[in-house]
Amino acid sequence: MKNSLIAGAGHYLPERIVTNDELSTLMNTNDAWIVERTGIKERRWFTPGKDTVTSMAKQASEMAIKNAGVKTSEIDFIIFATITPDYFIPGNGVLLQRELGLQGIGALDVRNACSGFVYALSIADQYIKTGMYQNILVVGAEIQSSALDKSDEGRSSAVIFADGAGAVVLQATDEPNRGILSTHLHADGDYAEELYVKDPGSSREVRISEDLIHSGSFNLKMNGNAVFKHAVVRFDEVIREALAAHQLGPENLDLLIPHQANLRISQFVQAKLGLEDEQVFNNIMHYGNTTAATIPVAISEALEQQRISPNDLVCLAAFGSGFSWASALIRW
Active site residues: 114, 259, 289
Identify the bridge partners of residue 330 per DSSP, sorted by sequence position. 180, 314
33 burial (CB, 10 Å; 0-12 / 13-18 / 19+) is middle
Nearest to 297 by CA among 76, 117, 135: 117
Identify the bridge partners of residue 79 per DSSP, sorted by sequence position. 108, 138
Question: Distance between CA 210 and CA 279 in Å, rounded?
Answer: 49
Which residue type sits at 66? K
